[in-house]
Amino acid sequence: MNFPSNLKYTKEHEWLRIESNDIAYIGVTDFAQSELGDIVYVEVETVGETIEKDEIFGTIEAVKTTSDLFMPVSGEILEFNPLLDQSEGDNPALVNSDPYTEGWIVKIRMTDLAQLKDLMDATTYQNLVA
């Protein structure tokens, strides 16, 4: 299982990649997609909203189970990955096949950069799920 070292991780099995200054991408980890199994739908109806850390910003439906998506840090949802969006690419299986790059879920503008220090690095996260 793969946990890139340039990402930050949460205990809810999400990753965050800082793009520039206060802009970041969020997705779910390789471990999360593997546990969920075949992902059939990703619902994000929060674009434009500002959501607090640990609050729900979306939902993933897999064949077997449903899982909510939680904000790793507070921020404004700028974009939902059009490749996953049912009205555009409609390819939620990308979260299974490529969770860290093509399968990103949302792009956000972080509102409290101090919260980043609460996230885990790759080694710490890997130990958590090992």
Q: Using CB under 8 A, which of 2, 6, 66, 124 touches other proteins?
A: 66
Task: Judge whether 11 and 119 are in contact, CB under 8 Å.
Answer: no
Report if residue 63 touches other proteins, rule: CB under 8 A.
yes
- Which residues in 1-27 are b (16+ Cβ under 10 Å) and which e? eebeeebbbbeebbbbbeeeeeebbbb
**DSSP single-letter state for residue 66:** E
Report if residue 97 touches other proteins, rule: CB under 8 A.
no
Q: Residue 88 CA to chain centroid, in angstroms?
A: 19
Residues 20-59 that bind other proteins (CB under 8 A): 37-38, 40-41, 43, 56, 59
Report if residue 86 touches other proteins, rule: CB under 8 A.
yes
Report if residue 65 touches other proteins, rule: CB under 8 A.
yes
Task: Judge whether 92 and 98 are in contact, CB under 8 Å.
Answer: no
Report if residue 88 touches other proteins, rule: CB under 8 A.
no
Q: What is the binding site for other proteins (CB under 8 A)?
A: 37-38, 40-41, 43, 56, 59, 61-66, 86
